[in-house]
């Protein structure tokens, strides 16, 4: 097991280099650049040229990449000139918020997808199953921004149960739990809606397989109540492959935060990414790519390790 | 209410549902055919002009003259919906085609040859999968934008990973079959084996994946248009229409908000249902 | 199952408590909101308009420009300015009791330092173009500054000095003005950018980047103390979410975009709506060096285009009346506006006959004359800007109706600015911010191309207009200034360096019982200004809203 983990971590390094190299190349191939955004619309060509030189953007891009990589190895993720803040500080501000949001989304997804999938498996091919199927597909097919806007229109404007957006109530300096949760509910739900659909389908399929297994039928035949068999025995087995699915949806969740955070004014990584892309803030974009890449790789690794623990038939070496 | 043993597979219906279209699947297919036909043919048939501005009648509610009302510049909303549908469907189909072409080729080669090549190719796929696709998509669309073709390519290029993996999986199973052995023994070239035998036999997976990819591509176009980097105005697309109609939600100009939203929902749903039915079949 | 249900109910209950306390707040605080937050508080480096607005609040301006676009001495650092020697020498008398928030006095050397930085073209947000006529600058004593100019310059007071923000020399002095690159990138001074030393009525109490910012009263401010103890600014990146926040009561003051203005009466709650002129003008700017549209030099065609475009619908239909017709380079609310300018009414028949008379014949829908075709590409920026998109589409329809083929090209904002900057366009839909004194020298003078440090990105060249602008810039007295500006406007309305469309108005929502706000045409972030005078009236006072139409 240790050897497996070590090997995966070692493989992560060329992976990260690959990702960042690709991002760097794309950034520098794209038209425009941070110099103009930084200098502002009224800048003269001389000013823009001065900015370009000062940022080191007139050097060939492989040389810039080398410099960036060298800085990275020293722990320096760069400086965002547009925001006048080091990239590390920016990410340190935003990352915890997004992680919290993603955690809530995952919790919401699991809380809704698991019962849904189990119920659909238990009652497969009945009217209830088909009806829920349709509902799940509709959720799967809905554009997320539309869903988010509808949630705001209903819960925030019409019913005034929840706030429209933000991190927490602005008057409270400390980490105020109740208002945090209130502000997380709608964005987490918007983020989760697609995973709920996908995961419940997957769990349904996986549970159907488990329910057909001999051990399930034997247990039932022995007289155990259906509920016990469902939840104490088959669910455990049915959820095991689901763990890898969890790891695999991390990138999708990260991506989903872009729109979700925009709509709900939630200052996280997604919003930072979008603004940096618009402003051509190369340093921040690259820094975020590295961090996102690291997190996704770690997440997948954790999922695979968990999978190994959960399923005794799997052996990593 | 039902037999206690029921959920556990003891009384599974034994008839083969393979080629019997379920109600939902047939509904989906019908809707898809209808939408594609309508978007392609209706504007010409009904003499609808998506660009005809008529400022005296802006924001008109649905009427006999304008079946879905008019927008802020007095243009017929039905015409814009259908034109937009053409664009969105085209983007979805072409992007999915690009994704499937790249993915199938990549997956077939990787799966067939196996070994070190397979490991390397799949490693590359893993690298790309570690990047949140939407990030890459936004990035590419924001930087390289302009034509519709560029958009289709961008969406296609960010969607081929899943199909590649699936096709590779199919290849791994299929290449163990006897007929492959037989073909190889009579000296058939690898390329011929892949393209004339294996891929047609993987057709089921490929077609299913294609429908899901189309659905995903259409949703991607919607998301990109919402952020302003998808289909650029004045070309209408469902994503465009929906995002510019958001403020009309407050105005209660429901005829500008509901049609594109419902159209996206229904069409993507139909693709998903159909693909799901194909997969079960 | 039961445990899950219990957990969910508990969470929702907590959330509900959170929500109810969510937006209750101190009655002494006003919550404003905008779409993009500030990116720093150093006026030399920050780019966003939110930053500019906050900087106006936390620093004492050298010369404060009021809502009438004229200097207001009661809130300026300079409480008196002597203009001598026929307009060539300015003596600024500074207040002696102005202080920085670290306790030190605001002195003349801070003003000199700040002006030198503003004059330094190497600094990012400099405005060196405004200081071209400055010949000398010195601090006579700690509260007097003397400036001499090469010739009299009407714009100097309001534009050059009015946009100078005195900054603490004792903190920023390590960036000498003759070192452009160090001054431009104060990255080791990022600390100052995030935690500035302030001198104005407000100080920054709390800043959560891209989320919210709270300003509190600055106890060290020399001037009238604000009535409110705090003002908050929240960021909502999506226009519709911002609007929903107003509807839900989370936000008190925000600007309302034109496309949402038409539905503002559907907002629930205790709101008042105010609208006022904004000194931003929109026009179609041609690129006179583009070889494919050489016909654009013909003023008769441009005049036909002015008749062909239904600018009234743009204003009433697309912008919900949140704009005024623009008949020349200077908008109608400006004190320098010439009321006798010719008005171009929407008259497509007249446009067609003008083009016919000029020899342009219709061939398959597009007018041609010899080898030339009346066709051009119109560039607009930003697909999410509903107004820009709709205006472009309407113009296309209007022009096509008279036989001019207009092809629309919408670009992402950064690419659009980059193209404008490098003159890569045929015709662009562009908005322009006017300075308090309308000086178009940098925009239309023949010599002021980008390469020479100006903004004449369209390469417009007309000696008559050059003379008119120069006369307005160097006029010796107000009457001469007005005559020169009138001449300039008359020329421009006939020769049409640009197809003038409209000048924006701003619209905002404010609480019904809020008083004291000022509706200034050069509001940097489109919000009502004068925050140090804001106060809540008790219910029962009659409403007296400035500028409500």
Model confidence over C257-276: pLDDT tens digits? 887 887 777 787 788 999 99
Of B50, B51, B53, which to mutate for an interface test with C (greatest number of C Cβ within 10 Å)? Answer: B53
Confidence (pLDDT) at C181: 43
Distance in angstroms (rounded) separating the CA atoms of residues A285 and A32: 15
B154: closest CA of chain A, how far (Å): 13
- In the predicted structure, residue C505 carries a pLDDT above the cut 50: yes
Q: How many helices (H) and strands (E) does chain A have?
A: 14, 2
Residue B4: its pLDDT value, please?
A: 44
Tens of pLDDT, residue by residue over B102-115, are 998 888 888 888 78
**Assigned token pair, A54:** 């000062």
Q: Which of residues C205 and C385 earns the better pLDDT score?
A: C205
H-assigned helices in C359-406 = 386-401
Cα C210 to the center of its chain, rounded Å: 21
Arithmetic mean of pLDDT, A10-19 = 82
What residues of chain A lie within 8 A of the CB of C232, using their CB?
Answer: 170
What is the distance in angstroms between the Cα of A79 and the nearest Cα belonging to chain B? 20
Q: Which distant-in-sequence residues (6+ apart) come within 8 Å of A302 by Cβ?
A: A247
Note whether C208 and C232 are within 8 A (CB). Answer: no
Looking at residue B2, what is its pLDDT?
A: 40
Residue C68 in this model has a pLDDT that exceeds 90 = no
Inter-chain residue contact C25 with A278, CB threshold 8 Å: no
pLDDT digits (tens, 9 = 90+) for C346-381: 999 999 999 999 999 999 989 999 889 999 999 998
Q: Which chain B residues are closer than 8 Å to C393 by Cβ?
A: 53, 73, 233-234
Contact criterion met (CB below 8 Å) for C376 and C293: yes
Q: Most confidently modeled of B34-48, B167-181, C338-352?
A: C338-352
| Token pair in block for residue B66 | 């304008």
Q: Would you call C408 and B58 a contact, using CB atoms and an 8 Å cutoff?
A: no
Q: Is the CB of C412 less than 8 angstroms away from the CB of B251?
A: no
pTM flag (> 0.90): no
Least confident window among A78-82, B185-189, B236-240, C72-76: B185-189
Burial of A309 from C-beta contacts in 10 A (0-12 / 13-18 / 19+): exposed
As a whole number, the mean pLDDT across chain A is 83
Phi–psi pair at C103, nearest 5 degrees = 105, -25
Least confident of A90-99, A172-181, C160-169: A172-181
Has residue C23 got a pLDDT over 50? Answer: no
Within a 10 A sphere around the Cβ of C151, how many other Cβ atoms?
A: 13
Could you tell me the sign of the dihedral formed by the alpha carbons of C53, C54, C55, C60, in that order? positive
**From CA C497, how far away is CA C302, in angstroms rounded?**
9
**Chain Cα centroid distance, residue A124:** 31
Q: Count of CB atoms within 10 A of residue C126's CB? A: 25
Average confidence (pLDDT) over C64-80: 89
Report helix, strand or coil for C83. strand
Q: Which residues of C touch B228 (CB under 8 A)?
A: 382-384, 412
- CA nearest neighbour of C154 among C471, C491, C487: C471
Give the integer Cα–Cα distance in Å for A127 and C418: 58
pLDDT at B145: 61
Q: What is the mean pLDDT of residues C72-98?
A: 91
Q: Are C475 and C484 in contact (CB under 8 A)?
A: yes
* Closest among C25, C101, C61, C27 to C529, alpha carbons compared: C61
- The long-range contacts involving A38-45, CB below 8 angstroms and separated by at least 24 positions, are A38/A81, A38/A82, A38/C47, A38/C124, A39/C124, A40/C47, A40/C124, A40/C125, A41/C417, A41/C420, A41/C421, A42/C127, A42/C455, A43/C124, A43/C421, A44/C121, A44/C450, A44/C451, A44/C453, A44/C454, A45/C421, A45/C450, A45/C451
Phi, psi (5° rounding) for residue A266? -100, 115
Chain A, chain B: beta-carbon pairs less than 8 Å apart: 136
Report CA dihedral (B128, B133, B137, B140) to the nearest 10 degrees.
-30
CA C416 to chain centre: 18
Subunits with at least 3 CB pairs below 8 A relative to chain A?
A: B, C
Supply the pLDDT for residue B229. 82
Chain C residues lying within 8 Å of A182, measured CB to CB = 15-16, 18-19, 22
Is residue C100 over pLDDT 60? yes
B251/C266 touch (CB, cutoff 8 Å), yes or no = yes
Which of helix, strand or coil describes residue C276?
strand
> What average pLDDT does the structure give for chain B?
81
Does the pLDDT at position A209 exceed 70? yes
The residues that bridge with C235 in the sheet, in sequence order, are C34
What is the per-residue pLDDT across A61-103, written as a single tens digit (0 to 9) for each?
A: 888 888 888 988 888 888 887 787 889 999 998 999 999 999 9
Please answer yes or no on whether C181 and A50 come within 8 Å at the CB atom.
Answer: yes
Residue C542: the pLDDT is 31
How many angstroms separate the CA of residue C393 from the nearest CA in chain B?
Answer: 7
CA distance A164 to B277: 39
Is C286 strand, coil or helix?
strand
In this structure, are strands C230-235 and C29-34 parallel, antiparallel, or unpaired? parallel
Residues of chain C above pLDDT 70, percent? 89
Q: What is the DSSP letter of A159?
A: S
Residue carrying structure tokens 């055919």? B33
Report the DSSP beta bridge partners of residue C136.
Answer: C148
Of C183, C220, C179, residue with least CA distance to C203: C220
**Residue A21 distance to chain C (closest CA, Å):** 23
Q: Which of A56, A182, A271 should be substituted to probe chain C, the one whose Cβ sees the most C Cβ atoms within 10 Å? A: A182
**pLDDT tier, C180 (very low <50, low <70, confident <90, very high otherwise):** very low
**Helix, strand, or coil (residue C427):** strand
User: Closest partner residue to C263 among B73, B240, B250, by Cβ?
Assistant: B250
pLDDT at C418: 83
Report the pLDDT value the prediction gives residue C396, as an integer from 0 to 100.
94
Q: Give the DSSP H or E segment for A79.
A: strand A79-80
A28-68 confidence digits (pLDDT tens): 776 667 777 777 666 777 777 777 877 778 888 888 888 88
Backbone angles phi, psi at C165, to 5 degrees: -105, 115
Strands (E), C248-348: 253-255, 271-286, 323-325
Nearest-Cα distance to chain B for C321, in Å, is 14
pLDDT at residue C73 tops 50 = yes
Contacts of A315 (CB under 8 A, 6+ apart): A308
Confidence at C383, pLDDT banded by 50, 70, 90: confident
**Cross-strand pairs, A79:** A86
Tokens of C15: 């959330």
> B59: which 2 tokens?
């924001």
pLDDT grade, residue C421 (50/70/90)?
confident
Cα–Cα distance for residue pair B154/B144, rounded to 1 Å: 9
Q: How far is CA B217 from each of CA A141, B139, B230, rounded to the nearest angstrom?
A: 11, 16, 12
- Most confident range (mean pLDDT) of A127-141, C190-204, C290-304 is C290-304
3-state secondary structure chain B: CCCCCHHHCCCCCCCCCCCCCCHHHHHHHHHHHHHHHHHHHHHHHCCCCCCCCCHHHCCCCCCCCCCCCECCCCCEHHHHHHHHHHHHHHHHHHHHHHHHHHHHHHHHHHHHHCHHHHHHHHHHHHHHHHCCHHHHHHHHHHHCCCCHHHHHHHHHHCCCHHHHHHHHHHHHHHCCCHHHHHHHHCCCCHHHHHHHHHHHHCHHHHHHHHHHHHHHHHHHHHHHHHHCCCCCCCCCCHHHHHHHCHHHHHHCCHHHHHHHHHHHHHHHHHHHHHHHHHHHC
Q: Given B5, B143, B273, which is nearest A31 (Cβ)?
A: B143
For residue B74 the two structure tokens come to 């007095």
Q: Which of A141, A204, A235 should be substituted to probe chain B, the one whose Cβ sees the most B Cβ atoms within 10 Å? A: A141
The larger pLDDT score, comparing residue B1 to residue A172, is at: A172
Give the lowest-confidence range in A9-23, A232-246, C248-262, C337-351. A232-246
DSSP class per residue in C48-80 = SHHHHHHHHHHS--SSEE-TTSSEEGGGSSEEE
Residues A201/A207, Cβ–Cβ less than 8 Å: no
Cis peptide before B234 (omega within 30 of 0): yes
DSSP string, A221-268: HTT--HHHIIIIIIHHHHHHHHHHHHHHTHHHHHHHHHHHHHHTT--S
pLDDT at C22: 39
Give the tens place of pLDDT for each residue, C443-469: 898 988 888 778 899 999 999 999 999
CB C131 within 8 A of CB C439: no
pLDDT reported for residue B17:
47
Range among A209-218, C489-498, C521-530 with highest mean pLDDT value:
C489-498
Which of B130, B145, B212, B237 is best to mutate for the A interface (most A CBs within 10 A)?
B130
Secondary structure of residue C96 in the 3-state scheme: coil
Q: What value of ipTM does the predicted structure carry?
A: 0.86
């Amino acid at each position: 097991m240790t050897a497996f983990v070590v090997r995966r971590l070692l493989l992560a390094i060329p992976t990260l280099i690959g990702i960042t190299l690709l991002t760097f190349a794309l950034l520098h191939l794209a038209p425009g650049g941070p110099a103009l955004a930084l200098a502002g619309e009224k800048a003269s060509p001389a000013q823009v040229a001065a900015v370009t030189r000062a940022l080191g953007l007139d050097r060939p891009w492989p040389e810039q990449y080398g410099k960036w990589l060298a800085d990275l190895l020293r722990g320096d993720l760069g400086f965002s000139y547009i925001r006048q803040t080091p990239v590390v500080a920016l990410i340190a501000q935003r990352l915890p918020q997004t992680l919290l949001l993603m955690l809530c989304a995952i919790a919401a997804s699991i809380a809704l997808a698991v019962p849904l999938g189990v119920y659909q498996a238990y009652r497969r091919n009945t009217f209830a199953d088909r009806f829920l199927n349709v509902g799940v597909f509709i959720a799967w097919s809905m554009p997320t921004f539309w869903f988010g806007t509808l949630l705001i229109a209903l819960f925030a404007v019409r019913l005034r149960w929840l706030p429209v957006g933000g991190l927490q109530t602005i008057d409270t300096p400390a980490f105020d739990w109740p208002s945090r949760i209130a502000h997380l509910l709608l964005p987490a739900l918007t983020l989760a809606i697609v995973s709920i659909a996908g995961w419940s389908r997957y769990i349904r399929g996986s549970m159907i397989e488990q329910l057909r297994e001999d051990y399930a039928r034997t247990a039932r035949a022995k007289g155990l109540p259906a509920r016990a068999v469902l939840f104490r025995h088959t669910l455990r087995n049915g959820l095991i492959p689901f763990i890898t699915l969890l790891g695999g949806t991390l990138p999708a969740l990260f991506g989903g935060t872009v729109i979700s955070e925009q709509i709900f004014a939630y200052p996280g990584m997604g919003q930072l990414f979008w603004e940096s892309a618009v402003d051509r803030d190369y340093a921040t974009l690259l820094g975020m790519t590295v961090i996102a890449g690291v997190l996704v790789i770690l997440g997948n690794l954790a999922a695979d390790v968990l999978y190994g623990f959960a399923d005794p038939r799997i052996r990593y070496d | 209410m039902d037999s206690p043993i029921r959920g556990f597979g003891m009384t599974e219906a034994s008839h083969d549902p393979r080629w019997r279209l379920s109600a939902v699947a047939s509904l989906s297919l019908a809707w898809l055919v209808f939408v594609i036909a309508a978007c392609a043919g209706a504007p010409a048939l009904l003499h609808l002009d998506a660009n005809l501005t008529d400022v005296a009648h802006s924001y008109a509610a649905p009427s006999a003259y304008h079946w879905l009302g008019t927008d802020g510049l007095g243009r017929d909303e039905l015409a814009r919906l259908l034109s937009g549908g053409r664009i969105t469907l085209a983007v979805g189909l072409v992007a999915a085609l690009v994704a499937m072409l790249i993915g199938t080729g990549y997956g077939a080669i990787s799966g067939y040859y196996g070994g070190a090549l397979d490991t390397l190719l799949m490693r590359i796929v893993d690298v790309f999968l570690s990047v949140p696709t939407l990030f890459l998509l936004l990035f590419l669309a924001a930087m390289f934008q302009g034509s519709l073709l560029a958009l289709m390519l961008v969406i296609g290029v960010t969607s081929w990973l899943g199909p590649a993996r699936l096709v590779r999986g199919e290849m791994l199973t299929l290449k163990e079959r006897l007929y492959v052995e037989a073909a190889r023994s009579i000296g058939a070239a690898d390329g011929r084996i892949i393209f004339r035998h294996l891929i047609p036999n993987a057709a089921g997976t490929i077609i299913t994946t294609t429908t899901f990819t189309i659905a995903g591509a259409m949703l991607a176009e919607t998301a990109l248009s919402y952020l302003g980097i998808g289909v650029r105005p004045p070309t209408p697309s469902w994503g465009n229409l929906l995002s510019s109609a958001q403020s009309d939600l407050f105005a209660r100009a429901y005829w500008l908000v509901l049609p594109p939203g419902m159209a996206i929902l229904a069409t993507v749903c139909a693709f998903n249902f159909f693909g799901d039915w194909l997969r079960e079949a | 199952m039961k445990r899950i249900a219990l957990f969910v109910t508990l969470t929702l209950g907590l959330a509900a408590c959170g929500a109810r306390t969510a937006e209750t707040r101190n009655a002494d605080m006003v919550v404003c909101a905008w779409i993009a937050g500030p990116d720093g508080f150093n006026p030399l480096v920050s780019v966003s308009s939110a930053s500019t607005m906050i900087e106006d609040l936390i620093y004492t301006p050298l010369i404060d420009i009021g809502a009438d676009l004229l200097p207001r001495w009661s809130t300026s650092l300079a409480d008196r300015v002597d203009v001598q020697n026929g307009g060539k020498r300015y003596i600024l008398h500074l207040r002696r009791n102005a202080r920085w928030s670290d306790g030190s006095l605001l002195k003349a050397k801070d003003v000199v330092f700040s002006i030198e930085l503003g004059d330094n073209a190497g600094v990012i947000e400099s405005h060196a173009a405004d200081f071209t006529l400055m010949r000398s600058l010195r601090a006579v004593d700690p509260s007097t500054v003397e400036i001499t100019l090469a010739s009299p310059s009407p714009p100097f007071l309001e534009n050059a000095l009015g946009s100078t923000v005195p900054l603490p020399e004792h903190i920023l002095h390590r960036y000498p003005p003759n070192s452009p690159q160090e001054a431009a990138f104060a990255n080791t001074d990022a600390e100052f950018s995030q935690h500035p030393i302030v001198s104005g009525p407000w100080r920054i109490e709390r800043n959560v980047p891209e989320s919210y910012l709270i300003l509190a009263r600055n106890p060290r401010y020399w001037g009238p103390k604000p009535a409110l103890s705090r003002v908050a600014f929240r960021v909502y990146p999506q226009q519709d979410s911002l609007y929903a926040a107003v509807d839900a009561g989370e936000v008190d003051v925000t600007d309302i975009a034109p496309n949402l203005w038409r539905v503002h009466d559907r907002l629930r709650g205790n709101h008042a709506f105010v609208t006022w002129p904004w000194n931003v003008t929109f026009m179609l700017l041609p690129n006179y060096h583009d070889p494919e549209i050489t016909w654009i030099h013909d003023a008769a065609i441009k005049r036909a285009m002015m008749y062909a475009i239904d600018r009234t619908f743009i204003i009433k239909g697309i912008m919900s009346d949140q704009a005024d017709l623009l008949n020349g380079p200077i908008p109608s609310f400006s004190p320098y506006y010439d009321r006798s300018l010719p008005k171009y009414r929407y008259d497509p028949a007249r446009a067609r006959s003008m083009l016919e008379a000029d020899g342009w014949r219709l061939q398959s829908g597009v007018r041609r004359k010899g080898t030339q075709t009346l066709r051009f590409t119109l560039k607009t920026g930003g697909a999410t800007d509903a107004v820009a998109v709709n205006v472009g589409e309407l113009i296309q329809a209007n022009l096509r109706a008279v036989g001019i083929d207009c092809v629309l090209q919408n670009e992402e904002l950064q690419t659009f600015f980059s193209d404008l900057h490098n003159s890569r366009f045929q015709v662009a839909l562009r908005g322009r911010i006017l300075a308090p004194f309308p000086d178009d020298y940098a925009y239309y003078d023949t010599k002021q191309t980008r390469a020479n440090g100006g903004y004449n990105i369209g390469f417009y060249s007309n000696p008559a207009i050059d003379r008119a602008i120069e006369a307005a810039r160097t006029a010796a007295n107000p009457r001469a200034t007005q005559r020169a500006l009138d001449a300039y406007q008359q020329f421009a309305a006939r020769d049409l360096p640009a197809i003038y469309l409209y000048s924006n108005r701003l619209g905002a929502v404010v609480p019904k019982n809020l008083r004291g706000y000022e509706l200034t045409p050069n509001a940097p972030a489109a919000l009502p200004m004068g925050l140090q005078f804001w106060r809540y009236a008790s219910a029962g006072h009659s409403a007296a809203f400035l500028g409500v139409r």
